[in-house]
A = this chain, B = another copy of it.
Amino acid sequence: MPETGKPKCGNFCFRLFSFVFSGMKNSRDAYGQQLLAQYKSQTATAEIIERDDFYIDTGSDAGLYFTEYEQWSASEQQAVELAAGRILDVGCGAGRHSLYLQRKGFDATGIDNSPGAIEVCKLRGLNKAIVRPINQIDEFAPDSFDTIIMMGNNFGLFGDAENAKAILEKMSRITAPDAHIIAGTHNPYQTVDAEHLEYHEINRKRGRMPGQLRIRVRFGKIVGDWFDYLFVSPEEMQNIFSDTDWRIEELIAPEEANYFAVIKKKF
């Protein structure tokens, strides 16, 4: 489609493009299709993640996305217990946190850019589950939420520091004045793995943050799209919030590789 001017092919062309594009999106939804397959077969499989330096590994424990509260770490349990009111679960996956919070009586909305993930959430009984990438959260009305949760390292969905600031501005708009964000991340420096340390160096050389992973999910024959997923140290997280409306109120288990931040509005 030409970049300028009205497309000549009109509605048919638009429908064709939409069809092709929606097909492409689904065919690349390795993450969601894996969740769906696991849900339907009731089997626990580990996801396979490729990094852009050809490093490949299983990215999470088998069955992680379907775990229940009792199986979560102490810090994860502590973090999720801080959610209250109208809750937005960003990158909700198979909905384990939203479903828990819904059962507790909260008004939980799960969003994920993966159509397969959202399908699983609905099949599992999550009332509010929407296909929406994080950078489109401003489609929610102002003052829609009291808590935003970004569990399971989903601080990473900010992608990079600049994008984080743009999204935090949107988060500011769609939340109540006394709202808070609960975000989990992974400290990339808590490793002695030579290949991870080498990747930090590659990232520094190309002007990226050391923990800024470019990764994709593979499942069966489906190759997911590349995306950035940001791991930060507590200090790096602090820097990201410096010129935003938000401040870190509390860190949960900052000495551990996986830790959480409770983030409040400055004013």
Contact = CB atoms under 8 A, between A and B. Distances in A.
Q: How large is the interface on A (under 10, 10 to 19, 20 to 34, 35 or more residues)?
A: 10 to 19
Contact of A46 (B46, B54, B55, B218): B46
A56 B195 contact: no
Contacts of A219: 56
A57 interface: yes
A45 interface: yes
A54 B195 contact: no
A223 B218 CA distance: 16
Interface string A23-62: 0000000000000000000000110100001111110001
Contacts of A55: 220-221
A219 B48 CA distance: 11
Interface string A216-257: 001111010000000000000000000000000000000000
A54 to B, nearest CB: 5
A193 to B, nearest CB: 9
A219 B46 CA distance: 15
B46 A223 contact: no
Q: Of residues A46, A55, A56, A223, which shows the largest number of chain B Cβ atoms within 10 Å of its Cβ?
A: A56
A48 B58 contact: yes
Interface of A: 45-46, 48, 53-58, 62, 195, 218-221, 223
13 contacts: A45-B58, A46-B46, A46-B58, A48-B48, A48-B56, A48-B57, A54-B221, A54-B223, A55-B221, A56-B219, A57-B220, A62-B62, A195-B221
